[in-house]
Every structure is written in structure tokens, then in C-alpha cells.
Copies of this chain bind each other. A is one copy, B any other.
């Protein structure tokens, strides 16, 4: 079973109907490697099916986010970006490298062993010390990319 059928069965098991709008959002997020904003997604949908509105895109993304189907990132500069959650994405576990000048975002999947070791240790420790149940983590490195120096 691939990620997409996995996603579709998750939707139906949650009782979330697969309407045309939702299907398009899934398609777009599945097809891209970029980090898209709600408006980006809306424009791409709009070129295929102009009857679908921006509001629906927002509502779909919120619904998906609350069911852990998509993850919302705020990299700064006020516009949230969305990507499929790891479970439904063909992308590997990754983090983000952000150029603070041109705002380019690079996904990197390097150093996962080191990361995992650090993250596991830290998560356990934080859960104990602060009585948290930790669900996820984000790691962003910020800097200036080669094109911007």
C-alpha cells in the first residue's frame, strides 16, 4: 500500500468525505516537493477547477492539519506553508534549512542518526522534567545560501 492509498483510507476511516476540493488538495500536496502556502495551493487548484474557492482550501488544510494529515509550518514572513505529514509523504524525515535573505527553503535529510540520538534523549528528558507528552519536533537552521552571499 503506497502513501496515497494510505491517506485515502485514513480519510475515510475518519469519516472525512473525499470531495473534489479535498481530492485536489491531496493531489497537489502529493505531487509537489515544495512548501506551498494556502494561496499557492489555491492557484494551482484554480487553474484546473476555478469553481473551488480559497476559503475551501483554508478549511481543507485546517481539517487535514487537525487530523495530522498535513503539517503547517511558519517559517516567518507571515505566510504559513503546508506539507503532507511524514506518514503520507514520499519524502523522508527531514528538516529545513532556510535562507534568511531569499527565503529559499531546503529540505535536508542528513545527519539523521545523530539527530535521532539527540532527539530521543532530549524528548525523554523533557517529558520527565516538564510533564509533557511530546508529539513532534522541528529543527530549522537559518543562514545565507550560496546564491545570496
Which residues of chain A have a CB within 8 Å of any CB of chain B?
A: 72, 74-76, 78, 80, 97, 99-100, 106, 108, 110-111, 114-115, 117-118, 121-123, 125-127, 129-146, 149
In the complex, how many angstroms separate the beta carbon of A73 from the nearest chain B beta carbon?
Answer: 9
Complex CA gap A136/B97 in Å reads 10
19 contacts between A and B (CB under 8 A): A74-B78, A97-B126, A97-B134, A106-B132, A110-B122, A111-B125, A111-B126, A115-B122, A118-B118, A126-B141, A127-B143, A130-B145, A133-B149, A134-B142, A135-B144, A136-B141, A137-B141, A138-B139, A138-B140
Q: Is the CB of B129 within 8 A of A110?
A: yes
Q: Is the CB of A131 within 8 A of B145?
A: yes
Residues of B within 8 A of A143 (CB): 127, 132-136
Across-interface contacts of A134 in B (CB, < 8 A): 97, 141-143
Closest 6 pairs (CB-CB, A-B): A131-B146, A134-B143, A118-B118, A74-B74, A132-B143, A111-B122
Q: Which residue of chain B is the closest to A129 with respect to CB atoms?
A: B110
**Which chain B residues border A114 with CB–CB below 8 Å?**
117-118, 121-122
Tell me which residues across on chain B come within 8 A of A133, comparing CB atoms: 143-144, 149
Residue of B129, B130, B139, B146 near A139 (CB, 8 A) is B139
Complex Cα distance, B97 from A132, in Å, reads: 9
